[in-house]
Structure 1
Amino acid sequence: MISLKVEKITTQKVSEIIEKQIEEWIHSGSFKPGQKLPSVRELCEMFAVGRSAVRDAITSLKGKGLVDVKQGDGSFVSRWDGTSLFHQIHLLEKKNIKQLFAVRKILESGMAELAATHRRESHLQKINAIITELEQTPTVEGWKLDFDFHTTLAEATGNEILVHLTNTLSTTMKKAIIDCHRLIFSDPLLTNKVFQQHVAIYDAISAKDPDTARITMLDHLNFVEQLLSNQSHTYAEGGSYAAE
């Protein structure tokens, strides 16, 4: 087995430490594109942590486009790395929010349109399950389901590059998305509005209506962008911070 450097776990969130360590292995060339990573069990033993921490780290790396997970076969270093496009972007600065959402509107409105044309029944079932769980999870933890919703729409297009781009954008915006969900779930009216937006997107895709899918996605992104822009103003008054 390859001899790998493992840093000791600190008081920082365990999954984040594991994520950064694996990311360092990938960027340093210890693992090449297409190469299989150690199994979850092996990583648990190497870091002396539980399976949930390792799985969270792998999920985040998958979201960054660094890792491909093949069911029953393990995790592999992705052959395409889109993180370099966005890794220096700092969120909760109004200009950057506006620029990123300009990209998201172009990307995800077209993605919703394609998903309405190419989606399969398995995609609809997965999206419907996410929406159902989202309705039952009125907490800030709903950001993970929101992440899954958008990445599943990308999968429904059948375009692998769109999947990687969506994962990269969503991961770049992770902290902003979490803060946005904290704001949304503090207000039942906002919670219901965002939930209904997700339902409207799903309904359009289910009905194979690409025009409505595109419009409902744009409406959703415009709404979330405004929430984040308002939030960025609040943080600017009390001290800004960057997204992870």
Structure 2
Amino acid sequence: MTRKSIFDTIGHESLAGAVVAQVEDLIASGILKQGSKLPSERELSETLGVSRPKLREALNTLEERGLVHTRHGEGSFVAPLTGEAMLPALLSLYGRHEPAFFDYLEYRREQEGFAARLAASRATKADKARIADVLKDIQRAFDEDDSVLAQESDFALHAAIVDASQNATLIHMMASIFHLTKQGVFYNRDFLKSIDGTGERLLEQHIELGNAVINGEPERAHRAALDHIDFVEQSFRSGLEQQRREAMAEKRRLVSGR
């Protein structure tokens, strides 16, 4: 059985130029994102139906255009496309600046609401299957109290829905935002779960969001995305306020000596 690939066989009349065009199309559409590793030269050559020299010619062109870079001994990768959303100094500042977190949530609320609406209208059979698989992981993480899988599947669901929007600009921009999220600069899932209690509310919201997209209900998906981010914001505000109250209570106790 022939192995499926995101690459199409190229006719002999096209060669290097067609390889370049195909990779550029995969990048522009958001199928290949920054950091994505391309198959090995041997595999690409066989899949595309071009010689190794022609393939190298195409990769050199892509590298000259700043779309691909090659690491000796590791292979070829899609180059950084959107750059870092923030430099390390600003990231550090944001980590110490509470209002920045809520600015981040405000931005995500609008972008993910938009993405969910589009995804519910545009998701393909493959997109829906991907989202359904992630929902299974989310349920399993909850049932087994697996915090690592819970965080991974949380990110995976949001990324899958953005990808299903079929909007390349949104896909690339949100990939940069999700990168920050994974670094833990703006989002601490363990803290959120401690506020939620068992994490059941998060589970319910993710299932509602995923199913709305799978069932092709744009308004329901849009509302589910907004409700989820609103819950995150309200929970963090409540949790931070509780931390402040506890800190003040401890200081009063120390002053009173009791």
SS at match of 2:77: strand
In angstroms, what is the RMSD of aligned CA positions?
Answer: 3.2
Task: Provide the residue aligned with 1:113 in structure 2.
Answer: 117
Task: Provide the residue aligned with 1:197 in structure 2.
Answer: 205
Task: Provide the residue aligned with 2:161 in structure 1.
Answer: 153
Q: Is the 8 A contact 1:130 1:148 kept in 2?
A: yes
Deviation, structure 1 residue 230: 4.0
Match of 1:37 among 63, 70, 74: 70
Deviation, structure 1 residue 188: 7.7
SS at match of 1:136: helix
Task: Provide the residue aligned with 1:12 in structure 2.
Answer: none
* Structure 1, gaps ≥5 residues long: 1-18, 20-29, 44-72, 239-244
Q: What is the rounded CA distance, in whole Å, between the counterparts of 1:145 and 1:92 in structure 2?
A: 27
TM-score by length of 2: 0.59
Match for 2:153: what amino acid?
L
Q: Does 2:77 match 1:75?
A: yes
1:89-123 Cα distance to aligned partner (Å, 9 max, x none): 41463311221111111111011000001001111
SS at match of 1:224: helix
Deviation, structure 1 residue 37: 3.2
SS at match of 1:83: coil
Deviation, structure 1 residue 237: 8.3
Query: Could you tell which deviates more after superposition, 189-198 or 91-100?
Result: 91-100
Q: What is the rounded CA distance, in whole Å, between the counterparts of 2:136 and 2:147 in structure 1?
A: 16
Match for 1:37: what amino acid?
T
Q: What is the rounded CA distance, in whole Å, between the counterparts of 2:227 and 2:246 in structure 1?
A: 28
Higher relative contact order (CA 8 A, sep 6+): 1
Q: Is the 8 A contact 2:101 2:186 kept in 1?
A: no
Match of 2:132 among 128, 132, 146: 128
What aligned pairs does 1:233-244 form with structure 2 within 5 A after superposition?
234=243
Deviation, structure 1 residue 157: 0.8
Q: Does 2:175 match 1:167?
A: yes
Task: Provide the residue aligned with 1:13 in structure 2.
Answer: none
Match for 1:148: what amino acid?
A
Deviation, structure 1 residue 208: 1.2
Q: What is the rounded CA distance, in whole Å, between the counterparts of 2:110 and 2:186 in structure 1?
A: 19
Match of 1:139 among 139, 146, 149: 146
Q: 1:86 to 1:132 in 2, by over 3 A?
A: farther
Task: Provide the residue aligned with 2:11 in structure 1.
Answer: none
Q: What is the rounded CA distance, in whole Å, between the counterparts of 2:146 and 2:244 in structure 1?
A: 21
Match of 1:96 among 97, 100, 109: 100
1:140-169 Cα distance to aligned partner (Å, 9 max, x none): 312121111111111101112111221221
Q: What is the rounded CA distance, in whole Å, between the counterparts of 1:145 and 1:102 in structure 2?
A: 22
SS at match of 1:81: coil
What is the number of equivalent residue pairs in this alignment? 177
Q: What is the rounded CA distance, in whole Å, between the counterparts of 1:93 and 1:108 in structure 2?
A: 23
Q: 1:237 to 1:92 in 2, by over 3 A?
A: farther
Match for 1:132: what amino acid?
K
1:2-47 Cα distance to aligned partner (Å, 9 max, x none): xxxxxxxxxxxxxxxxx9xxxxxxxxxx9972123327xx34xxxx
Q: Is the 8 A contact 1:86 1:172 kept in 2?
A: no
Q: What is the rounded CA distance, in whole Å, between the counterparts of 2:96 and 2:136 in structure 1?
A: 30
